[in-house]
Amino acid sequence: MQEELHSAPAPRSGAALLVPAVACAILSIVMTRMGTLFAVVSMVPLGFAAAVYGARAAWIALGLAVLGTLGLTMSTVAALSPERGFWALVGLGVLQFAANGLGFTWLMAGNPPVPGRPLPYVRTLYRLLAVAVLLAVLILRLFDGIDFYAIRAEVTDRVVSAHLGLADSAAAYPEGADAHPERIVAGLNRAFDLALTWIPRGIMLAALVFVMFINRQLSFLVSRLFRKRRAGDLTGFFAPKRTVWVFAAALPVILLGRTLPAPFVEIVAWNVLVACALVFLAQGGGIVLFNLSRRSMPVPVRVILAVVFVVIMFVSPVNLFVLGALLILGVAENWFPMRRAEPEAPA
């Protein structure tokens, strides 16, 4: 990922940053409370503050957003559950928002400004993966005390009750029909088992990387309305050189971990494998975007290609072939250069 914020606007005074920081903080808080779809992209205002007004504005907006979330969460919990677990519920809500906001602001704006002692620079890719790993660990720890098998039993009981019991509904649904309660319950059980098996083994990490990447890209997209500068694409992204060897070593470690009594080894190895795969997917996407950018193409054609790609991502199993091809491209570029600048025409 290119380091877009190195050319951020010149620092402004605190008063000049306060108004956009307050506006971005309020918008971020409002989006978190507008339903799941808006909550997923609720970090975009913080990224917009970083891209348009600079790192200081983004960090100020984050601080204001956390304080606002604290106040709103306290008032909401007091109204709904004034006596039972007040501070636990408040802390959980604020912790979730603060962790997401802190990680994304660090991703977009870099290290917080420390007067007189600048912190060491960290590459955008490493920030993205570090934030995703820490958030994944936090979420999995929060879910650790939940009895998911009890939830599964309750869900399946409701499905059976909704069909008036398996015995009665068996006559209403032909044997083998997709809507038959037994098939629905079996499908729910399989989905639950797969989720509990694979969410800790990289699925949570991949989902968090995807959400942060979408927020990041939307932040740059909106910022272009105010700053006419191209930013945020993958055409110049290259994976660190040793990533391919880490990727190659992860699979035998997974196989070894399956033979050990400690499942932690296998889970860590799966997450390393998924993280490396995401890096090479990004590199493969950068190869495709780079080569498309070298060709003269009308804007409507580019828009159509983008729409087709998005549609393909929702079509199984075609999306698996596309992702596999991007992954192979990304890995192959370690040995075969696939992005070459065109030679300049002689004067």
User: Mind listing the pLDDT tens digit for each residue in 227-264?
Assistant: 766 566 778 889 998 999 999 999 999 988 888 887 88
Question: Is the separation of the CB atoms in 126 and 118 below 8 Å?
Answer: no
Q: Could you give the residue ranges of the DSSP H alpha helices within 7-85?
A: 14-32, 36-40, 44-53, 55-80
Q: What is the pTM of this model?
A: 0.81
Integer Cα distance of 50 and 105 in angstroms: 8
Closest CA to 97 of 34, 51, 50, 28: 28
pLDDT tens sequence across 33-58: 887 788 888 999 999 999 888 888 99
Position 87: which residue type? W
pLDDT, tens digit, 9 for 90 and up, residues 75-124: 776 666 555 555 556 667 778 888 999 999 999 998 887 777 777 888 89
Band of the pLDDT at 65, cuts 50, 70, 90?
A: very high
Q: Is the pLDDT of residue 274 over 90?
A: yes
d(CA 153, CA 147): 10
CB 276 within 8 A of CB 246: yes
Q: Which residues contact 326 (CB under 8 A, 6 or more apart)?
A: 280, 281, 284, 285, 288
Distance CA 153, CA 159 (A): 10
Q: Are 217 and 237 in contact (CB under 8 A)?
A: no
| pLDDT digits 0-9 by tens, 316-336 | 777 888 889 999 999 999 898
Of residues 62 and 157, the one with the higher pLDDT is 62
Closest CA to 268 of 253, 280, 279: 253
Return the pLDDT at 304: 81
Q: Is the Cβ–Cβ distance between 201 and 270 less than 8 Å?
A: yes
Tokens of 214: 């979408």
pLDDT at 179: 56
Q: Give the whole-angstrom CA distance, residue 327 versus residue 278.
A: 8
